[in-house]
Structure 1
């Protein structure tokens, strides 16, 4: 009753494309998670240490995967509030 995956794929060849597509989707999801953890500054794993890690995010660096026609300019009121609260 416990047949191996390769044995099932050899007997039912119509499952090969399905297994291939699902495997590629899973590999893509895992690779995007690893990419986000290693390269994005807004993704944080450890919760110890800095209490406000969003303050360390560079506003000039895009945090999105695709950014179209977006320019960052500081808001004067927010900068004043930030200086007053520190």
Structure 2
């Protein structure tokens, strides 16, 4: 949406200001991750896939304590290959 002001001084003609544009972004939606599974210790990898989200992926996170603390994973794609899995 664009906005501008219209101004008039006395008997002079109306003039307009420069325009300002406001862009409204949609609300972020977390989506769902598919691929969660149970594996044996030492399993090399499994792939997780994010879908149904709105917004750009900033990073993935992992946690072994229900996210009381987490580890950032530098990945901004919809798929994550979790590697070197252990307890």
When the two structures are superposed, what TM-score results if normalisation uses the length of structure 2? 0.28
Whose strand fraction is larger, Structure 1's or Structure 2's? 2
Point out the structure with max Rg over C-alpha. 2
When the two structures are superposed, what TM-score results if normalisation uses the length of structure 1? 0.28
Between the two structures, name the one with larger relative contact order (CA 8 Å, sep ≥ 6).
Answer: 2
Whose helix fraction is larger, Structure 1's or Structure 2's? 1
